[in-house]
Structure 1
Amino acid sequence: MVVTELAPTQRFYGGLLGWQFVVGGPETGGYVTATLDGCAVAGLAVADVPSPAGWCVYLATDDVSASTARAVEAGATVLMGPTTELDLGRRAVLIDPTGATVGLWESGRQTGWEVTDVPGAFVWAEQMSHDPAAARRFYTALFGYEQQDMSAPDFTYTSLGIGGSPAAGVGGYGPGAGDVPAAWTWYVAVEDADAIAPLVAHLGGEVVSGPEDTPYGRVLLVRGPAGEVLALVEQPDDATA
């Protein structure tokens, strides 16, 4: 995520999720790695000029140049890159055909999340839009995902998988969503969604919705101090990665 001020963001996520922060050297432009028990869980960068803040979900690729070209053929627009980030890896940032921003990451020394599926770490990511069929076509063309329809009468949702394992979700906004823009959202696990909800405002954020029960856990949607949105989920006891 790119922010204009690090301190409020560090206070928010440090207090809410127990993250600690490691500031890179001058050659990284002050890039900050958020860690949980010493393991990387997210990254923060400081913008040179004021700009909207938001988390960017990156999808792994073995060849970011080839994936970017394939994405453009499938209807994406390139916002940035591909660029080389020291010895960490190569990346590109795109706008998919439904208008959602998404990143591509070809790993070097930086492979991504070092821990998942525990409180304070990533558990899931999904893309929501007003045209889920277009999103499914795009991401399947890009990475050859397997599709599992998980829709209900009033809800369109598809799980995208690799080798039989779920990788991400693609869903459609309901009729009451209005002009909400397409976006990727990532989910971070928490031990107790109800207990953590009051901390959000205390730490400078805002509860957007929830906590509410879903088939996959108790979910709380929050907005951080820079305006970014993420989901917190208290997973059921029988949840599997």
Structure 2
Amino acid sequence: MKKCSCRKGKSYKLLVSKEMASLVQLLKKQPALRSFIFELINTYRPTDSERVTAERVFHVVRECYDAGLMSFSMAVELLDLLRAFFLKKTDVRRGNFLEVVLSKRGPIRLKCRVRRLNQCRLYRGRKMVSNKEVDVAFSGPEGLEVHECKANMIRQWRDPLYRRTRKGKKLDFLNSVPDNCGQQTFAFCTGLDGDFAVEYIKRLFRAYGYRNISVAGRREFLK
């Protein structure tokens, strides 16, 4: 079987807005804040008004401050960052944020040194397997790991998952990756959901026959 690879990716820099870069840098310095911010981004609803979003942002920052995780000046900085992050194109930024966090974290299954590609296409040899986009791919001597990133997987992969729909076709593609590319190839649906949601999605996928898709949630990003 010919080796699979991910090609024709987009520049990582195009994913990172100024606000996102500042937020990621802050979380790197203050890892104790990650669970709060991941929960906020995971539970955001595109239909929420700006007022509702602003209130939720304020409450999260207040929780972090009341828990003694940061100084007042840092709380003000975080409040400003989150307001800027959620101000415009939030749904796109949420997806890009997850891709950036995953890109910095590295692969979940592979333990070798890897090459990363963002928003690429899967090839077997010189032939493109599918024109469907892979959000993040890691490849190395031990194999290939591909990820479909959704900040809120429960909202994305809700039952029923009909195969004729756009979602079903994407899951069919992901499920076929290990079969098309052989051993040491791993396909993931990845998000910022908590343990209960991750377990629910695993069972849902199994019920629909998507047994080749692994699921990664918030726990993997808090390690």
TM-score (norm 1): 0.25
> With CA pairs under 8 Å and 6+ residues apart, which has the higher RCO, 1 or 2?
2
The structure with the largest helix share of the pair is 2
The structure with the largest strand share of the pair is 1
